[in-house]
Amino acid sequence: MKFTKFVEKISEEYSIDILSQGEDLEIQDVALIDNKHDNTIRNTLYFGYDKQLENAGSIPCQCIIARTDSAVPPLPTVGSNIALVEDDSLFTIFNDAKTLIEATHKGIFEELTAIADKTHNIEAVIDAASVRLGNSLLFCDMNFKIIATSASIPVLDPLWIENTKKGYCCYEFINEVKELKSIRNASQTTAAIEVTCNKSPFRKLSSKVFHNQTQIGFLLMIEGENSFLPSHFEMLSTISPVSYTHLTLPTT
């Protein structure tokens, strides 16, 4: 769900005013503004009070703010999605937003399955999934042949750009990956795991893809402009079954 759609839905029940509107970003998580954690994750919708942003070094890309003090200077709004709500409705709206986002995540399976049924094209599904994740996505078979990559959000990792150009990973690379502790200890499920590699600074999540209880490949999400969120683990695991169902894989 994007910011404008969220505001439209919330405005059906609550008083809400848009102070600033920048890029209409997808909302993948919600969080409360505090001074101990990073409050600038692009795809997170932040909730807080005007005083919390008075001396902030940066303003979140997306936030819902309750104004409590007319003496607080106007918020710097350039480039951000900022909406103002009544003080006494802030936390109620936060809870509603959390419910909406969770419902959106649950709907991703149905959305991608519909795309698979309509197109029978794995690249279309991978691309749509990457947009929902906000990061680049690849699907590889068990031999590390790259079956599909996202087009809307291209790969930025130089190592995987090279792999994608070739269409496969080299023997030495495959052996190194298989020796990674996170890979060796991964369960035989679609549960997403974080994979780190000393040859690349980009964080990655991987989820196994199965057909008839046999692993036939894996999904790889590579962090780009959008930082990893807890919801990414669940979403990638949900996407995994659609990566094979009803699809015609490209032939060599």
Q: How confident is the model over 109-164, as pLDDT tens digits?
A: 888 989 988 988 999 999 999 998 889 999 999 999 999 999 999 999 999 999 99
Report the C-alpha gap between 91 and 77 in whole angstroms. 22
Q: The tokens 């894989």 sit on which residue?
A: 249
What are the structure tokens assigned to 141, written together?
């078979």
What are the structure tokens assigned to 160, written together?
């995987």
74: DSSP letter: P
What are the structure tokens assigned to 224, written together?
């780009």
Backbone angles phi, psi at 203, to 5 degrees: -75, 150
Q: By the 8 A CB rule, do 44 and 60 touch?
A: yes
Upper half-sphere CA count for residue 81 (Cβ side, 13 Å): 23
Q: What confidence tens digit (pLDDT) does each residue in 55-102 have?
A: 666 788 899 999 876 655 566 656 789 999 999 999 999 999 988 887
pTM score: 0.68
Q: Which neighbouring-strand residues pair with 136?
A: 222
| The one-letter amino acid at 252 | T
Report H helices in the chain.
3-10, 50-54, 90-106, 108-119, 122-133, 158-166, 171-178, 181-184, 230-239
